[in-house]
Structure 1
Amino acid sequence: MVQTSPVRRSSPDKMIYVLVLVIIVQTIYPLTADGSLLTQIIYSLFYASLIVSGIVVAREQRQDIRLLTVLGATWFISSIIYNLNQHATWARFLAYGAIIPYQIAVTRVLLLYIFASKKVTRDVIYAAAAVYILIGAIFVPTYGLIETITYEQTGTNAFVDTTVEPGQVFPWQNFAYFSYVTLTTLGFGDIQPVTLVARAAVTIESVIGVFYTTVIMARLVSLYTAQGVEAEIKHDHTQTG
């Protein structure tokens, strides 16, 4: 019987740093609720460090590196502009519009890494977890963009929150909480979409959350099974040889 596990340790485990960074970025956002310029800039620096993470993963793909660098730099500049003009509608448009393609690009690089891998390693598992968190992150500015556009066009909110008065600017931090509640299909009901576009976006995120976990589990299990069979064959050849 083969004693070694089919789950292999890659050397080095670079994805653990990506996962930890993604978790930190998505959990320290309450620190920015005070609106302080300093905390906003520090948070932006943490988020910008995802550029380095993406480049490390895509170091052999120059086109991806260029794309990540351009999108990351664009978002970082827009975030600084937003931090200096937090109450301006155009600044919110700029920040939301710049961060969405940046997040999608980082997520894409990680997904390509996962599905290009032929073996289940710790890095693959870490990358899969990071992608799940990033999916929730993508919908934070998406909801913010929907809310901003709706309010500018109609004067009403696209979402209803028990902590936000009608007509009040919807804090993006509330969307960070709402996005992960939606992604995991918990649905506490304290924040609700009220427009058709908002409801459609929420539905899409819920479906993606369920679909991703199903697909990624199938992928990892199939790789794990294939590795186990390969290990058994090698072991048999060794015994008979």
Structure 2
Amino acid sequence: MPSNRKWMFGVDRFGTLLFFLLFAFLISDSSVSSWPNVVGSAANVGALIAGFAATRLGENRLRLGVLAAIGVTSAVLVGFDEAAIPLTIGAFGQAIVLFAILLAVVRRVLSHERVGMPTIAGAIAAYVLIGLIFAWIYLAMRGLFEGPVLDPDVASLPTYYSFEVLTTLGFGDITPVNDFVQRLTALEAMAGQIFLATLVARLVAMYGSSARSQ
């Protein structure tokens, strides 16, 4: 395998994982129908497989079986009507799967002694994971509360809104109108800033260690 592709495959190789996450991000919000949610959740299953390979999540067979079952089942459930309870359950299932991958990725990235392409790809993947996790949670909220939770209402996976909050852009074109979702929005904004601050500090420290060792 060419050396310039080694960062994509195997343990601590997060390129494939990042590909599936970005695909899920790009395909969502593209329609008011439910099929983008289905495709996005299928991309999450692909991300789950890539996450298993990159983080050793799959070494524990019980954990592997549980997460795979949640991922596949929730991928099926999000295909139901947007107001149906199965969609809410499926959206929460997708968030759980992505959260498990996030924890594993962050653990692997922080264990690196030197900054390399795998480290950078893993850090970007972790940041994208946070945005997608909150997007699925926002989608789940639509089935838990009467009336819209965002204004204007977002029928498909609200990744645009989630990343707008995560990056604290705050364009104001979509706003939370539910009290709980307003607090969830603030929590995501704080999570994004804290993650960037701590991650950048860690990468700088790792880069400094690498420079000194050379």
Q: d(CA) in 2 for partners of 1:208 and 1:60?
A: 24
Could you tell me how far 1:41 is from its partner in structure 2? 4.5
* Mapping of residues 104-119 of structure 1, within 5 Å: 104-119=99-114
1:191 and 2:190 aligned: no
Q: CA deviation at 1:122?
A: 0.9
The match for 1:70 is 66
Q: SS of the counterpart of 1:186? A: coil
Q: 1:10–1:226: structure 2 CA closer, same or farther, 3 Å change rule?
A: farther
Q: How many residues align?
A: 207
Aligned position for 2:49: 52
When residues 24 and 116 of structure 1 are mapped into structure 2, their CA distance, relative to the original with a 3 A threshold, is same
TM-score by length of 1: 0.77
List runs of 5+ in structure 1 lacking aligned partners: 1-8, 165-169, 232-241
Residue 213 of structure 1 is matched in structure 2 by: 196
- Counterparts of 2:57 and 2:95, CA distance in 1: 24
Asked if 1 retains the 8 angstrom alpha-carbon contact of 2:77 and 2:87, the reply is no
Aligned-CA RMSD value: 2.3
C-alpha deviation, 1:60, in angstroms:
7.4
Partner SS state of residue 172, structure 2: coil
Deviation per CA, 1:16-58: give whole Å up to 9, x if none: 2222221112112245x25365x65544332211121111112
Trace 1:99-178 onto structure 2 (pairs within 5 A): 99-151=94-146, 156-161=147-152, 164=153, 170-173=154-157, 175-178=158-161
Structure 2 residue aligned with 1:12: 6
**Conserved? CA contact 2:78–2:91, under 8 Å:** no
Counterpart position of 2:10:
none
- Aligned residue for 1:236? none
Partner Cα distance (1:60, 1:205) in 2: 25
Q: Report Cα offsets for 1:113-141 as digits up to 9, x if no partner.
A: 01111111110110000100110001012
Task: Give the letter for the 1:18 counterpart.
Answer: L
1:230 aligns with 2:213: yes
Distance 1:202 1:224, change over 3 A: same
Q: Give secondary structure in 1 for the equivalent of 2:113.
A: coil
CA 1:51–1:76 in 2, change beyond 3 Å: closer, same or farther? same
Unpaired runs of at least 5, structure 2: 8-12
Q: Please give the TM-score of this superposition, normalised by the length of structure 2.
A: 0.86
* Percent pairwise identity: 21
> What amino acid is the match of 2:149?
A
